[in-house]
Amino acid sequence: MKSIVSTIVVWVLLTGPALAAARDAAAFEAMDTDKDDKVTLDEFQAFYKIVFQVKDKNGDGVLDEVEFNNPDAFEFADKNKDGKIDPAEDRALRAHHFQQLDANRDQHLTLEEWLADP
């Protein structure tokens, strides 16, 4: 598991946080840690937990609007309207995003679902 996390961290650092959020085959491959050509919610959340940590430039454990770098999603995710996204708010946003992407509602994302434009 440690090597999987290391691989994801290296990938995020090499591509940059903005590209880490990009929906491409490389991101899908990085999320699919068990290499079964499907991404579960747990894999999705683990990937974005690392993205969150990389984006948290000042290390305060939350993302401000500049660190988050997506004004529309920030507005949606900041449920308590404190101007910050905490890890719980980010997990809720990612769960919502996962459900939007899971077109056939089978609790797995395929590459096709990941690449589709919801």
Q: Which has more confidence, 114 or 1?
A: 114
Q: How is residue 56 written in tokens?
A: 């948290």
How much is the pLDDT for 23? 74
Sign, CA dihedral 8-25-112-33, equals: negative
Residue pair 47/31 in contact (Cβ under 8 Å)? The answer is yes
Give yes or no for residue 85 having a pLDDT over 60. Answer: yes
The mean per-residue pLDDT over the stretch 52-56 comes to: 94
Domains and CATH numbers, the chain: 2-115 (1.10.238.10)
Q: Phi first, then psi: what are they for 56, rounded to 5°?
A: -75, 75
Determine how many CB atoms are found less than 10 A away from the CB of residue 4.
15
Residue bearing tokens 């609790």: 107
Q: What is the pTM of this model?
A: 0.81
